[in-house]
Amino acid sequence: MKKPFISTCCLLLSIASRLSFGEEGHQAIADAAILRLNPKASSAVQKILSQASVPEISNIKTAATWPDDIRLSAHPGKLVNTAGAKSFNTRFGGNRVWHFVDYPLDGD
C-alpha cells in the first residue's frame, strides 16, 4: 500500500518541478515577480520593456522566455530566425551553453 503511494508522490513531484523549466513556467515566475514589486519598481520595469528595441521583448512574459526563444542549441528556439536573434547569435555564438542571458535592451 505504501509503495504505490510513495511512487505516485514522487512522480507528481517530478512532474511539478519540470513545469518551471518550460515556457509557461518561466512566464508564471515572471508574472509572480512583477506582482511582488512595489508600484514604482513595476512601473520602471514596464517602461524599460516598452522602450526595448527588440520587438519580441514587449512585456514581462515575452522577456521571460526570449533568451530561450532566440538561442541556437540542439533544440533551437521559436524566434531563432528573427532579426534580433540572428544579430544576437552572430555576436554571441556560444550562447547555446548559457543558462541565461544578460542582454541590454538597447541591443548594444
pLDDT of residue 58: 85
Q: Is residue 108 part of a domain?
A: no
For 42, the 3-state DSSP assignment is helix
CB-CB contact of 57 with 70 (8 Å): no
Q: Is residue 28 part of a domain?
A: yes
The three grid cell numbers given for residue 42, joined into one nine-digit string: 513595476
Count of structural domains, the chain? 1
User: Is residue 63 predicted with pLDDT exceeding 80?
Assistant: yes
Q: Is residue 104 part of a domain?
A: no
| Angle, CA 24 vertex, CA 19 and CA 30 arms, to 5° | 105
CB atoms within 10 A of CB 12: 10
Q: Is residue 90 part of a domain?
A: yes
pLDDT of residue 47: 93
pLDDT of residue 32: 93
